[in-house]
């Protein structure tokens, strides 16, 4: 039995008393429709119980941790789950720091770096021969204590002694290395004078645009008093642009500032506001900024006064000028941080040839380990990433693959890895590579359990477990398990059918030509884009394809979405560099749906987020029973006091603070999870209380609200593949793909008029191929109603179905950023240079 993890009687969520065995040291893939119960099994049952058993074995008290609803699980090993959440939220984490590649480079630059001699300007070359460079992690912390006075560098030309370079000099998270202006963040926040002043108007005429009415009445008198104190007159009635330097400095910086007081050396500033203690428009903004912790949580008008841009002193490199002046064969650590991993590896492999034999001997182990570390992310298709990329800007799939690649290096064995859709955001060409990495983990003696929808990964599995047959209450059983061939022979298995169909070529279908208009982006150069010009035919379904990092999101979200935001007055955020966009006059609005999580507030749930809860509350409030109990719509809200249970404030659960452990959720002892007071719960519609409704799935609610707008919106949610969600499910618990589809359904539920441009980021994430077919119908409806839909996609079925494709590439990062092929799927399939084209060719048959 040592060869299996055996689960008996799993009943979490929709699981129907499931028993199954998972072979160890194998690649096991969990499949099924979305909502069928895959996560309930893998994450909520297996992974959770692993953690619980592990803590128990460490002698920790686990009474508070709710045991998953399962009779028994045997054969468990320590587990590591690799989800899609980015764990690095700090702007100080970069690809370089989280992979530790940057740490190695700091060692290299500290030891091999050449720098200009401050006295004579000659280049000072370090002396080698210091072999105590390992282990890196210890080197970093204890470097100074271990060798406090190790050799200084001496200039051969003028014999000046230079202080020894240390690793800290290259860290932007340490004062020794960080750029003093931006403290190592690489971005500087400044006040945008143009956003707060209208220079053509006078102060009296509303020239300080962010002042509210009260300020506009009050401050001019203070200004006048201040001027009087210093013995000049402030002219409130000339355009601000014509104010003299002294007046301008007073207005912007105030009496307490260096910039103003320099005009009156020795003069004491006024003591009270009445006497003219004017703070200065810019100075005041900064004070309020600091008081708010810089989080812009004040009126939008004021928030807009601050602009974040690349720090002018370090040009965004985060490092001190002295640190940037250190080079190895002419390149600085800031230079290499901006290179793709691929280019970095190439540089590193050439470097030893330029060193003398002794240094090679000393440095060989570091070169070797560093190269190994750089190769790992390259092996999972992240070759285009740069070390200076902020970790929190990585997509879910990228973050997951980066973590995966570092796990490979850990050399752990006997571990259960649980992964959630590692192919998200990955081009089919790179799926092979990913499978290779999963295989390697298995070869190291680990069990790899993957939730996946990708047919190639399914085929590569040693063992498939198909959960279903349907979703929600129609799922929750093991429909079939075994090899892909075995699954294909099971008639009831949706996955089996999918695998069978995937072997047949897709038939030709006529492509929609569009309405004759186009949206043309000209000369796009943001990030890696190589002056891309592309014309999207309006009135069609368009797929942006290309390997990960090729520039799809940059074009669609950094340029088109932001330019549309400005054009349609929804935002002021500047679009990435491009020459222009033509054709906005043909559309009436643009809606972008990405996969960022919704609602940091745990109070938001599926019903509230989709604007369904208010009409539902109104249905309840309109019932005679509600009227007789004097209950209005607000009593049916769990967000305000009145009708809700006050113990749990309408959440139905309480959070137990476990100190050093994650919080634990327990049922509210007062309402026992019902969220509302008994009086509210006594009001029922077709036999359901408001609490019952929140506990029901979207699909179950459709017949309840039949004939109402509510039912239409619920049906939309179903059509995006989310019929299994409970209305009361907190938004914070939705996966990235689910969040994306909830947002999509919410947008579709709004009455549309005119031509809408939809910009969608991989809407198929988390969807079984069968669910994809449903989503496709929904997108079709949008296009057939006269709108345009542009999706970033890797899903072969959706790509082959699109009316028009723009394929980016040929590779990721610097080697990408061009359009390799464009046109109908048939046309793209003819393009030899296109990875997508080759893939399409084999599919279209
Ligand atoms: P899959 O991973 O296959 O998409 P899930 O395991 O997430 O499916 O969901 C299976 C069922 O369990 C669905 O009906 C879903 O609504 C329900 N479910 C998921 N999470 C929760 C939860 N936190 N509480 C209650 N029900 C849940
Ligand atoms: P795709 O959407 O095709 O995966 P992206 O548009 O995300 O590609 O990335 C294109 C290039 O731009 C890559 O080299 C990527 O590393 C870079 N890039 C993407 N986002 C950022 C960012 N926020 N900052 C710096 N570089 C970025
Ligand atoms: Zn700086
Ligand atoms: Zn309660």
Task: For residue 390, report the distance from its CA to the centre of ligand 2, in Å.
Answer: 11
Residue 81: per-residue pLDDT: 83
Residue 141: per-residue pLDDT: 52
Name the residue of 96, 389, 526, 556 whose CB sits within 8 Å of the most ligand 2 atoms, as the mutation to test its pocket.
389
| CB proximity list for 707: less than 8 A, separation 6 or greater | none
Q: Which of 423, 429, 384, 382 is nearest to 402 (CA)?
A: 382
Phi, psi values for residue 304, rounded to 5°: -70, -15
Q: Decide whether any atom of ligand 1 lies within 6 Å of the 229 Cβ.
A: no
Task: For residue 346, report the distance from its CA to the centre of ligand 3, in Å.
Answer: 28
| ipTM confidence score | 0.92
Q: Which residue has the tokens 């099924």?
A: 32
Q: Which of 295, 307, 761, 188 is nearest to 573 (CA)?
A: 307
Task: For residue 136, report the distance from its CA to the centre of ligand 2, in Å.
Answer: 30
Q: Decide whether any atom of ligand 1 lies within 6 Å of the 733 Cβ.
A: yes
Based on DSSP, count helices (H) and strands (E) in the chain, helices before strands.
Answer: 34, 28
Atom of ligand 2 nearest to the CA of 547: 3
Ligand nearest to the CA of 309: 3
Residue 595: per-residue pLDDT: 75
Q: Decide whether any atom of ligand 1 lies within 6 Å of the 65 Cβ.
A: no
Separation CA 806–CA 825 (nearest Å): 10
Name the residue of 386, 545, 551, 792 whose CB sits within 8 Å of the most ligand 2 atoms, as the mutation to test its pocket.
551
Ligand nearest to the CA of 398: 2
Q: Decide whether any atom of ligand 1 lies within 6 Å of the 37 Cβ.
A: yes
3-state secondary structure of 554: helix
Task: Work out the angle between the directed axes of helices 101-112 and 357-379 (0-180°, nearest 10).
Answer: 160
Angle at 22 between CA 19 and CA 25, to 5 degrees: 165
What DSSP string describes 798-814?
HHHH-SEEEEEESSSGG
Name the residue of 10, 12, 33, 35 whose CB sits within 8 Å of the most ligand 1 atoms, as the mutation to test its pocket.
35
Atom of ligand 2 nearest to the CA of 544: 3
Q: Decide whether any atom of ligand 1 lies within 6 Å of the 39 Cβ.
A: yes
**DSSP at 147:** S
Atom of ligand 2 nearest to the CA of 817: 10
Atom of ligand 1 nearest to the CA of 476: 10
Say how many C-beta atoms besides its own lie within 10 A of residue 809's C-beta: 26
Q: Which helix or strand (DSSP H or E) is residue 771 part of?
A: helix 769-784
Residue 480: per-residue pLDDT: 96
123 strand-pairing partners: 116
Q: Which residues in the chain land under pLDDT 50?
A: 129-132, 134-135, 137-138, 144-146, 148-149, 294-297
Residue nearest to atom 1 of ligand 1 (CA): 35
Q: Decide whether any atom of ligand 1 lies within 6 Å of the 763 Cβ.
A: no
Atom of ligand 1 nearest to the CA of 766: 4
Residue nearest to atom 27 of ligand 2 (CA): 527
| CB proximity list for 541: less than 8 A, separation 6 or greater | 512, 779, 780, 783, 789, 791, 801, 802, 803, 804
Q: Tell me the H-state helices in 43-157.
A: 48-57, 95-99, 101-112, 136-146
Separation CA 668–CA 665 (nearest Å): 9
Q: Decide whether any atom of ligand 1 lies within 6 Å of the 724 Cβ.
A: yes
Residue 732: per-residue pLDDT: 79
The pocket around ligand 2, CB under 6 angstroms, is made up of 384-385, 389, 393, 527-528, 546, 548-554, 808, 813
| Model confidence pLDDT, tens digit, residues 134-185 | 445 445 555 544 454 456 788 888 988 888 888 999 999 999 999 999 999 9
Phi, psi values for residue 361, rounded to 5°: -60, -45
Token pair belonging to 276: 């003219």
Say how many C-beta atoms besides its own lie within 10 A of residue 10's C-beta: 27
The answer to whether 40 and 32 have CB atoms below 8 angstroms apart is no
Residue 457: per-residue pLDDT: 96
Residue nearest to atom 14 of ligand 1 (CA): 472
Separation CA 482–CA 843 (nearest Å): 26
Atom of ligand 1 nearest to the CA of 40: 6
Handedness of CA 262, 267, 271, 276 (dihedral sign): negative
Task: For residue 723, report the distance from its CA to the centre of ligand 1, in Å.
Answer: 11
Name the residue of 380, 526, 553 whose CB sits within 8 Å of the most ligand 2 atoms, as the mutation to test its pocket.
553
Residue nearest to atom 16 of ligand 2 (CA): 385
Task: For residue 586, report the distance from its CA to the centre of ligand 2, in Å.
Answer: 29
Name the residue of 88, 401, 527 whose CB sits within 8 Å of the most ligand 2 atoms, as the mutation to test its pocket.
527
Atom of ligand 2 nearest to the CA of 554: 6
Task: For residue 548, report the distance from its CA to the centre of ligand 2, in Å.
Answer: 9
Task: For residue 320, report the distance from its CA to the centre of ligand 3, in Å.
Answer: 7
pTM: 0.80
* Residue-range domains of the chain with CATH: 4-86+394-501 (3.40.50.300), 95-184+316-379 (1.20.1580.10), 190-310 (1.10.8.280), 518-597+753-844 (3.40.50.300), 606-733 (1.20.1580.10)
Q: Which of 492, 564, 498, 559 is nearest to 523 (CA)?
A: 559
6 strand-pairing partners: 21, 74
Q: Decide whether any atom of ligand 1 lies within 6 Å of the 31 Cβ.
A: no
Residue 290: per-residue pLDDT: 74
Largest CA distance in the chain: 97
Task: For residue 92, report the distance from its CA to the centre of ligand 3, in Å.
Answer: 13
Ion ligand 3 residue ranges (Cβ < 5 Å): 179, 181-182, 311, 313-314
Separation CA 140–CA 98 (nearest Å): 15
**DSSP at 305:** T
Angle at 597 between CA 757 and CA 405, to 5 degrees: 105
Residue nearest to atom 5 of ligand 1 (CA): 37
Residue nearest to atom 15 of ligand 2 (CA): 549
Name the residue of 554, 790, 792, 812 whose CB sits within 8 Å of the most ligand 2 atoms, as the mutation to test its pocket.
554
Task: For residue 395, report the distance from its CA to the centre of ligand 2, in Å.
Answer: 9
Say how many C-beta atoms besides its own lie within 10 A of residue 845's C-beta: 10
Q: Which of 352, 502, 470 is nearest to 14 (CA)?
A: 470
Residue 399: per-residue pLDDT: 86
Name the residue of 528, 596, 811 whose CB sits within 8 Å of the most ligand 2 atoms, as the mutation to test its pocket.
528
The answer to whether 84 and 424 have CB atoms below 8 angstroms apart is yes
Token pair belonging to 261: 């007081």
Task: For residue 30, report the distance from its CA to the centre of ligand 1, in Å.
Answer: 15
3-state secondary structure of 246: helix
Phi, psi values for residue 542, rounded to 5°: -115, 135
Separation CA 737–CA 722 (nearest Å): 10
Residue nearest to atom 27 of ligand 1 (CA): 13
Handedness of CA 495, 496, 502, 504 (dihedral sign): negative
Task: For residue 451, report the distance from its CA to the centre of ligand 1, in Å.
Answer: 14
Separation CA 829–CA 815 (nearest Å): 21
User: Strand pairing of 589-593 and 532-537?
Assistant: unpaired
């Amino acid at each position: 039995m040592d060869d299996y993890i055996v689960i008996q009687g799993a009943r979490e969520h929709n699981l129907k008393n499931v028993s199954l065995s998972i072979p160890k040291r194998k690649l096991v893939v969990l499949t099924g429709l979305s909502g069928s119960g895959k996560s309930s099994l893998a994450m909520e049952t297996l992974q959770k119980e692993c953690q619980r058993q592990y803590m128990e074995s460490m002698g920790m008290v686990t009474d508070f941790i709710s045991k998953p609803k399962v009779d028994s699980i045997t054969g468990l090993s320590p587990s590591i789950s690799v989800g899609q959440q980015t764990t690095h939220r700090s702007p100080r984490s970069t690809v370089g720091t989280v992979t530790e590649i940057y740490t190695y480079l700091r060692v290299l630059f500290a030891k091999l770096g050449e720098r200009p001699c401050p006295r004579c300007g000659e280049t000072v070359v370090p002396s080698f021969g210091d072999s105590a460079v390992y282990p890196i992690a210890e080197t970093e912390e204890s470097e100074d204590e271990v060798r406090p006075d190790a050799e200084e560098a001496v200039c051969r030309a003028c014999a000046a002694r230079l202080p020894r370079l240390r690793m800290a000099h290259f860290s932007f998270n340490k004062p020794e290395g960080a750029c003093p202006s931006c403290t190592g963040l690489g971005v500087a926040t400044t006040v945008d004078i143009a956003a707060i002043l209208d220079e053509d108007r006078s102060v009296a005429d509303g020239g300080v645009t962010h002042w509210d009415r009260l300020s506009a009445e009050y401050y001019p008198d203070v200004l006048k008093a201040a001027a009087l104190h210093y013995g000049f007159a402030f002219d409130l009635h000339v355009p601000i642009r014509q104010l003299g330097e002294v007046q301008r400095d007073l207005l912007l910086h105030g009496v307490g500032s260096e910039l103003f007081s320099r005009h009156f050396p020795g003069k004491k500033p006024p003591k009270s506001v009445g006497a003219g203690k004017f703070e200065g428009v810019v100075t005041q903004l900064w004070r309020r900024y600091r008081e708010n912790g810089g989080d812009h949580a004040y009126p939008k008008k004021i928030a807009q006064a601050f602009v974040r841009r690349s720090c002018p002193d370090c040009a965004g490199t985060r490092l001190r000028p002295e640190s940037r002046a250190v080079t190895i064969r002419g390149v600085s650590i800031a230079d290499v941080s901006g290179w793709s991993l691929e280019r970095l590896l190439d540089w590193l492999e050439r470097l030893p040839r330029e060193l003398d034999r002794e240094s090679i001997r000393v440095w060989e182990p570091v070169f070797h380990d560093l190269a190994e570390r750089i190769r790992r992310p390259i092996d999972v298709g992240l070759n285009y990433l740069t070390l200076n990329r902020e970790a929190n800007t990585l997509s879910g799939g990228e973050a997951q693959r980066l973590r995966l690649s570092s796990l490979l290096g850990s050399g752990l064995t006997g571990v259960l890895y649980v992964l959630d859709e590692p192919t998200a955001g990955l081009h089919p060409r790179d799926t092979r590579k990913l499978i290779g990495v999963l295989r390697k983990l298995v070869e190291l003696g680990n069990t790899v359990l993957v939730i996946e929808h990708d047919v190639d990964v399914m085929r590569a599995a040693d063992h498939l477990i198909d959960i279903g047959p349907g979703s929600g209450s129609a799922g929750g059983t093991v429909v079939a398990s075994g090899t892909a061939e075995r699954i294909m022979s099971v008639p009831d298995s949706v996955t089996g059918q999918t695998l069978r169909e995937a072997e047949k070529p897709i038939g030709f279908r006529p492509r929609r030509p569009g309405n004759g208009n186009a949206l043309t982006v000209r000369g796009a150069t943001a990030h890696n884009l190589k002056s891309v010009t592309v014309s999207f035919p309006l009135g069609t379904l368009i797929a942006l394809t290309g390997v990960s990092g090729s520039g799809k999101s940059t074009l669609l979200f950094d340029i088109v979405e932001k330019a549309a935001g400005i054009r349609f007055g929804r935002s002021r955020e500047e679009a990435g560099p491009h020459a222009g966009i033509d054709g906005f006059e043909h559309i009436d609005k643009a809606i972008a749906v990405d996969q960022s999580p919704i609602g940091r507030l745990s109070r938001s749930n599926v019903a509230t987020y989709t604007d369904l809860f208010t009409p539902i509350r109104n249905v309840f409030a309109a019932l005679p029973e509600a009227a007789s109990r004097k209950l209005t719509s607000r009593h049916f809200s769990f967000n305000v006091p009145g009708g809700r249970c006050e113990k749990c404030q309408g959440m139905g659960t309480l959070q137990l603070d476990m100190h050093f452990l994650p919080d634990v959720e327990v049922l509210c002892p007062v309402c026992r999870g019902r969220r509302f007071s008994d009086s509210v719960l006594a009001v029922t519609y077709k036999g359901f209380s408001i609490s019952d409704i929140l506990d029901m799935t979207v699909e179950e609610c459709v017949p309840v609200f039949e004939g109402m707008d509510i039912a239409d919106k619920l049906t939309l949610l179903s059509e995006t593949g989310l019929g299994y969600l409970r209305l009361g499910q907190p938004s914070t618990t939705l996966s990235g793909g689910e969040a994306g589809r909830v947002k999509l359904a919410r947008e579709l539920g709004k009455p549309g008029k005119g031509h809408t441009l939809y910009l969608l980021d991989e809407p198929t994430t988390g969807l079984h191929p069968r669910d994809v077919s449903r989503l496709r119908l929904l997108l079709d409806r949008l296009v057939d109603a006269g709108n345009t839909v542009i999706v970033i996609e890797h899903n072969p079925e959706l790509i082959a179905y699109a009316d028009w494709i723009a394929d980016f590439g040929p590779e990721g990062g610097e080697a990408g950023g061009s359009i390799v092929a464009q046109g109908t799927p048939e046309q793209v399939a003819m393009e030899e240079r296109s990875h997508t084209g080759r893939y399409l060719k084999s599919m279209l048959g």
